[in-house]
Copies of this chain bind each other. A is one copy, B any other.
Amino acid sequence: MSLPQAAARYLQVKDFILERIAGGALRAGERVPSENELTRTLTVSRMTANRALRELAADGVLVRVAGVGTFVAEQRVHAHPLEVRNIADEIRARGRQHRVRVHALESVSASRELAERCGVKPGAALDYSLLTHFEDSTPLQVEERYVNPQVAPGYLRNDFSHITPHEFLIRVAPLQRAEHIVRAVVPERRIRRLLKLEGDEACLLILRRTFSRGRVASVADLYHPGSRYELAANSQPR
């Protein structure tokens, strides 16, 4: 049993800034406290404040101008093609009915590989769910998800036939960023059966990690039948 580690100070400084942006206290284009101000008000060294601001600038949250100051970046204009979308919204937007079947909802112990993906220690408790999303009566997505209960507590107490995991998570753990990897696979039989696939049909597999407060909130494997699902993306330079 160990006490929860105090977060690193540069992470505290990052949160300090991010919360002020999220809460509206700092708006796009506005000036952020300088390193020296943070040094005084937060009682950290200038190097620590520097690291926090520098990393936020690298993430595109802030813009720094030597000799002038640090400012909240203007909002991104271009939505990324793989925005964190909710499959339920997609389905409803097409005028179809969205249904969910819950296959599993329980607490599990993190394997080594899983622990690495989630940024926790092997053996740590993770909330697990396995769902199928239907469009009318056609399965469109199998969602296998692991949630870090330290970041998003109460996951297991939901009724996911009324609220999707995604909807719950964005309410409980403010979404900071998301990471997607898209692969083409022929999944194992367990998944094929849930998607009612025939033969060796290919699937789009989206590995999604969402981050909240600098930590992994949840890890999801989203399987879509290759014959019924595709990703679309348009890009316009400027």
- Do A60 and B226 touch (CB < 8 A)? no
Shortest beta-carbon distance, A237 to chain B, in Å? 5
A201, CB-defined interface residue at 8 Å:
yes
Shortest beta-carbon distance, A83 to chain B, in Å? 6
**Which of B60, B186, B205 is A186 in contact with, Cβ under 8 Å?**
B186
- Do B203 and A234 touch (CB < 8 A)? no
Question: Once the chains are docked, how many angstroms separate the CA of A201 from the CA of B226?
Answer: 13
Chain A 197-238: CB-based contact to B (< 8 A → 1; otherwise 0): 000111111000000000000000000101000111111111
Residues of B within 8 A of A226 (CB): 183-186, 202
Question: Once the chains are docked, how many angstroms separate the CA of A202 from the CA of B200?
Answer: 9
Question: Once the chains are docked, how many angstroms separate the CA of A176 from the CA of B81?
Answer: 17
Question: Once the chains are docked, how many angstroms separate the CA of A83 from the CA of B237?
Answer: 8
- Do A177 and B234 touch (CB < 8 A)? yes
Question: Once the chains are docked, how many angstroms separate the CA of A151 from the CA of B178?
Answer: 38
**Which A residues between 66 and 95 are near B, CB-CB below 8 angstroms?**
75-76, 78, 80-84
A173, CB-defined interface residue at 8 Å:
no
A8, CB-defined interface residue at 8 Å:
no
Q: Which residue of B lies closest to A223 (CB)?
A: B184
A106, CB-defined interface residue at 8 Å:
no
Residues of B within 8 A of A203 (CB): 184, 202
- Do A81 and B231 touch (CB < 8 A)? yes
Question: Once the chains are docked, how many angstroms separate the CA of A58 from the CA of B176?
Answer: 17
A163, CB-defined interface residue at 8 Å:
no
Name which of A59, A84, A200, A233 has the most chain B CB atoms within 10 A of its CB.
A233
**Which of B182, B186, B232, B233 is A204 in contact with, Cβ under 8 Å?**
B182
Decide yes or no: A234 and B184 within 8 Å by CB, A82-B81, A226-B202 being known contacts: no
Shortest beta-carbon distance, A179 to chain B, in Å? 5
- Do A83 and B235 touch (CB < 8 A)? yes
Residues of B within 8 A of A238 (CB): 75-76
- Do B236 and A182 touch (CB < 8 A)? no
- Do B177 and A235 touch (CB < 8 A)? yes
Q: Could you list 4 further interchain pairs (A-B, Cβ under 8 angstroms) beyond the known A76-B236, A80-B235?
A: A75-B238, A84-B235, A179-B233, A182-B231
